[in-house]
Chains A and B, each alone.
Chain A
């Protein structure tokens, strides 16, 4: 599948000779900087990432258990107006996700009114009855959301996936920016780019804002990690470091009398807010998996008693489940009262016989995904798959249709990318981060751009050969420039 028809975010539809007018300067910069120089800077950035330990584990790859994600030096740029429109849609979507979670773990109006089939919630392992009836502090469930988007034209954005559990990748956003400031300072002189290094402050304020009750003084916030064997440990320690809060492991926390404490050399310190990077299953062995050695016994009792805020709330998986995704336009409309500003990608639910028939008839044109899969596994990209792959997938689909959804292959936008044979357009997606605290919803002005480095490939997952780029959000004309701190 070629990239010829795709919208290029810098070059438009015309190619390097006729960039979009707003991007003439960037296009010029790319053209003027020698290839060797771009390569050199890129390698320097990657060397830093390797040194920092920003690696990820590749599942099912025994040769390279930990790799760094390749970095591409050409940034992806959002114009201010584009960003404002996008932000409105993101805020609406995240508000709907929170309203949905409050509802399904409370009154369940959305089921009573027949908007979503009840069995899709009640029979879904992501719906956790163990936390039903709990109202989290300040009524917020999804404090940190990563919304995966793709773009097909100047104003055409589509939501590919919501992440309301523990969206990762924010350390890439921050480290990519730091690398860009160091390696390409001239870009920040010619473009007025919104700073992203305020993310840690934003997150810390969000955490503080959802602390339960008023105990007086500063609430105590911690980051809870499964430990240094976890592939995202770098991000956990990085976030705790930059927020200036403690990084703890489950064994550091105890619950007494429905209150959570951190055990320190100086004694017990009461904990108000936990940014947990541990899956629900391993949070509390008394409530979830009894065989878990990781959890904090009594944590859910403390949470139910309203004595601690958990970021994000347990049970959030029901909101970003792929089976629920296809109902998101209806869900957004149900809670916001208006049409979704950010559309979904058209989705066939293979659990529905007519949809299944259509999907089986068009496997060579569709992307078929496991409802409960992630990381690009259990996925068929029809247009690039071999006949044998399609037939193998057909069998799996017929055997368990309820486990799959299908979507058209979109002509994802491209951004010029450094390749062995010079600059070339490569497909990208985008994960912006949205924070919700008791004082409202904020969209971080930046995000994680993932790029499919293989020519024509639409799979941007890092586990499948994807890379990342910095994502610039331009400030409005006349706004004071924000300092970009290089630490």
Chain B
């Protein structure tokens, strides 16, 4: 599937800022099933951009801007060609071993209720892939239609107890449950093309299966990612894979607005 992404992030400051430093994880990498055909990041003011990677192998762009800055728009536009792989991630650049993705972070902290639910759902079967699918389906059934919402900062345990967790929260719950059962799992941020329209970047989970490698699970949709998904960045949790981590020097408040279009193009390969 040929997918076109247009992703605008706009920051407005109540008072002009004297400096901005941002770390952008907004550029997807090639895998066997994902080919980046074109990709660019445009900024609407004078900035210096530096391309690098982070410790997890994500492509990173550092943004440095001198003030006074009252607002800034970051526009990402590109096209990606994807093929169906049943959620299996093939040919990704993996600088860190899967064992790292067993560690708990504040955002993926579990509690007794969540761990007990995970233990019951996973059961004791020997087929890891089957157990991970079961976990995915169980979360999708328990929290149907989890929306893409701005980050509320909940831990996995808090989100599990909340009435309507977001897709990001659901991914954290997925990760927390898998790790509680000693299965490596991690967060993925990216895009998903679907007919309901998109309002924010999407988040899902990946878990490690011996002999297969990393396999994606999207508990907000109850499926493994198909060719309508574009992987951009991975991390131990959502903040670790954040599209934009920023720091500003200046007083006042900031407001962020996002405009996102993820479209399927004709002429599929």
Contact = CB atoms under 8 A, between A and B. Distances in A.
The judgment on whether A and B are partners is yes
Contact of B21 (A118, A130, A131, A255): A255
Interface stretch (A57-65, A216-224, A282-290, A342-350): A282-290
A297 B247 contact: yes
B267 interface: no
B23 A286 contact: yes
A125 B21 contact: no
A298 B100 contact: no
Contacts of A133: 53, 55, 57, 95
Contact of B97 (A111, A258, A297, A301): A111
B100 A258 contact: no
A129 B21 contact: no
Nearest to A119: B99
A257 interface: yes
Contacts of A257: 48, 50, 64
Nearest to A128: B55
B55 A286 contact: no
Interface residues of B, number: 28
A119 to B, nearest CB: 6
A301 B56 contact: no
Interface in A91-126: 108, 111, 118-119, 122-123, 125
B40 interface: no
Nearest to A105: B55
A173 to B, nearest CB: 35
A122 B52 contact: no
The listed residue with most B CB atoms (<10 A of its CB), out of A108, A118, A290, A298, is A298
Contacts of A128: 55
Interface in A275-298: 285-287, 290, 297-298
Contact of B245 (A131, A254, A255, A286): A286
A245 interface: no
Nearest to A256: B64
B246 interface: yes
A127 to B, nearest CB: 8
B21 A305 contact: no
A261 to B, nearest CB: 11
B100 A129 contact: yes
A213 to B, nearest CB: 17
B78 interface: no
A378 B245 CA distance: 36
A52 B23 CA distance: 42
Contacts of B97: 108, 111, 118, 122
Contacts of B245: 286-287, 290
A402 interface: no
B52 A129 contact: no
B103 A285 contact: no
A207 B168 CA distance: 44
A132 interface: yes
Contact of B103 (A125, A134, A298, A305): A125
Given A130-B54, A285-B247, A297-B247, A256 B99 contact: no
Interface string B9-49: 00000000001011100000000000000000000000010
B96 interface: yes
A403 interface: no
B62 interface: yes
Interface string B64-95: 10100000000000000000000000000001
B145 interface: no
A297 B19 CA distance: 11
B213 interface: no
A298 B23 CA distance: 8
Contacts of A454: none
B250 interface: no
A270 interface: no
Given A118-B99, A122-B97, A290-B245, A301 B55 contact: no
Contact of B55 (A123, A129, A290, A305): A129
Interface string A288-327: 0010000001100100110000000000000000000000
Nearest to A125: B103
Contact of B102 (A119, A125, A285): A119
Interface string B223-254: 00000000000001001000001110000000
A125 B103 CA distance: 8
A298 B64 contact: yes
Nearest to A292: B247
A127 B212 CA distance: 26
B99 A123 contact: yes
Contacts of A305: 50, 52
Contact of A304 (B52, B56, B96, B236): B52
Nearest to A118: B99
Interface in A224-270: 254-258
Given A132-B95, A133-B95, A286-B246, A298 B55 contact: no
Contacts of B55: 128-134
A254 B64 CA distance: 10
Nearest to A111: B97
Nearest to B62: A301
B50 A258 contact: yes
A123 B64 contact: no
A257 B100 CA distance: 31
The listed residue with most B CB atoms (<10 A of its CB), out of A108, A128, A130, is A130
A129 B247 contact: no
A298 B62 contact: yes
Nearest to A304: B52
Nearest to B61: A301
28 contacts: A118-B99, A122-B102, A123-B100, A123-B102, A125-B103, A128-B55, A129-B55, A129-B96, A132-B55, A132-B95, A255-B21, A255-B64, A256-B48, A256-B64, A285-B247, A286-B21, A286-B23, A286-B247, A297-B247, A298-B64, A298-B247, A301-B23, A301-B50, A301-B52, A304-B52, A304-B53, A305-B50, A305-B52
Given A290-B239, A301-B60, 5 more contacts: A127-B100, A255-B64, A256-B48, A286-B247, A304-B52
The 9 closest A-B pairs by CB, nearest first: A297-B247, A132-B55, A297-B21, A122-B99, A122-B100, A257-B48, A298-B21, A286-B23, A130-B55
Interface of A: 108, 111, 118-119, 122-123, 125, 127-134, 254-258, 285-287, 290, 297-298, 301, 304-305
Interface of B: 19, 21-23, 48, 50, 52-57, 60, 62, 64, 66, 95-97, 99-100, 102-103, 236, 239, 245-247
